[in-house]
Structure 1
Amino acid sequence: MAETLITVTPTAQDYLRDLLAKQSSPGIGVRIFVERPGTPHAECCMAYCPEGEQEGNDVRIDYEGFHAWIDGSSVRYLEDAVIDYKKDSMGGQLTFRAPKSRVPELSDDASLEERINYVLYSEINPGLAAHGGNVQLLELTDDNVAILEFGGGCQGCSAVDMTLKSGVEKTLKERLPELTAVRDKTDHSMTENAYYK
């Protein structure tokens, strides 16, 4: 499954094997995941993963001399991903490309955070883009409050309260009834590029 989706080139495997061999923690591997998957802000990440720190839905892939844990909820965003290592005059660079990491996609078991991002990037942001604006999810609290941040022409815009209540919050709560509230964490004192001042 995951091992066929992600390609770790032989040079990257050599690099990771050497890197992990220098760590003092026995049984340490790497954990591969996508932060903010399915959004334009998606980032492919790799971190040390000491034994026992993997999560319940992680998928283990064994390589010669080391192992990797793939975050279960990131697997579909890592399809066709390539992790490579190229030597250069400065030593070398590990690269991580995942062409599907930014593609909005919803599965039947998508988390509330993934569903919020899907609505924001597929329905709400295209409308805000007409005014040079955008909105992104900063945080989802334990009691299902979405904390949002507006950017571009929305930051400092005098109509942002109306946009939040009549547009963004209404749309999100219609699509995601388990959402309890939507809050704006944007600093609207900056009005330099605002669509309406």
Structure 2
Amino acid sequence: MAGIHFSDTAQSYLAELLSKQDAEGVGIRVFITQPGTPYAETCIAYCKPGEEKPEDELLVLDAFNVWIDAISIPFLDDAVVDYATDRMGGQLTIKAPNAKVPMVNEDSPLNERINYLLQTEINPGLASHGGEVKLIDVVEGGVAILQFGGGCQGCGMVDVTLKEGIEKTLVARIPEITAVRDVTDHTVKENAYY
């Protein structure tokens, strides 16, 4: 069963919206566009009878049914749909902490395991400086070729970040990796953090 939770306030709010629909038996469908990528977006849409897909998972709530896109299920673990009121009215929020996280394990392809580590551990740290790093390739001898972007490009501290932070982490966590190399052009310094 999908690990998505609807708060009581979210259920009440959605039930009220659904009661205003013309058709009988309208539910909602939850899906993620581009799951497992940095561009993942969690979406909720009306779902009229017959619009659900055969592989969707059905979640029966007190007031309405929720159909969950089969491909999105693993990415909706620990997801919470909530409705919070404030001075301006209220807002439906969806927090899906695993939407952007690729599902990987030690049997996954090498580049997927590297990307997973970059997205979940390395980039969140670089993001505070407006930076990011991405994998370009893995070459002979287990050398990961990386490219920095954002505030890391042109940053004077990038060699330290690469050797002390990223290389140590990747080598320790992914046995096939022996070293990392940077292909970024650091002569471009417009957005550099340092």
Alignment TM class, shorter chain as reference: 0.5 to 0.7
1:26 is aligned to 24
2:160 is aligned to none
1:37 is aligned to 35
**Cα distance in 2 for residues equivalent to 1:32 and 1:46:** 5
Q: 1:126 aligns with which of 112, 135, 155?
A: 135
Pairing of 1:9-88 with structure 2 (within 5 A): 9-88=7-86
Q: Which runs of 5+ in 1 are unaligned?
A: 108-114, 134-151, 153-192
The amino acid that maps onto 1:73 is I
CA contact (8 A) 2:7 2:83 kept: yes
Secondary structure, aligned partner of 1:34:
strand
Aligned structure 1 segments of 4 or more residues deviating by more than 4 angstroms? 117-124
User: Which structure's CA Rg is the greater one?
Assistant: 2
Kindly report the root-mean-square deviation, in angstroms, between the aligned alpha carbons of the 2 structures.
Answer: 3.1
Pairing of 1:97-176 with structure 2 (within 5 A): 97-106=95-104, 118=112, 121-122=115-116, 125-127=134-136, 130-132=147-149
**Cα distance in 2 for residues equivalent to 1:15 and 1:129:** 46
CA contact (8 A) 2:31 2:72 kept: yes
CA contact (8 A) 1:60 1:69 kept: yes
Secondary structure, aligned partner of 1:13:
helix
1:82-138 Cα shifts (integer Å, max 9, x gaps): 00001111110000001111111159xxxxxxx9x95894599323862528xxxxx
Sequence identity of aligned pairs in percent? 43
**Cα distance in 2 for residues equivalent to 1:29 and 1:39:** 27
**Cα distance in 1 for residues equivalent to 2:135 and 2:36:** 15
**Cα distance in 1 for residues equivalent to 2:60 and 2:92:** 19
**Cα distance in 2 for residues equivalent to 1:86 and 1:54:** 28
The Cα of 1:61 is off from its aligned counterpart by 1.0
1:169 is aligned to none
CA contact (8 A) 2:78 2:97 kept: yes
Q: Which runs of 5+ in 2 are unaligned?
A: 119-132, 137-144, 154-189
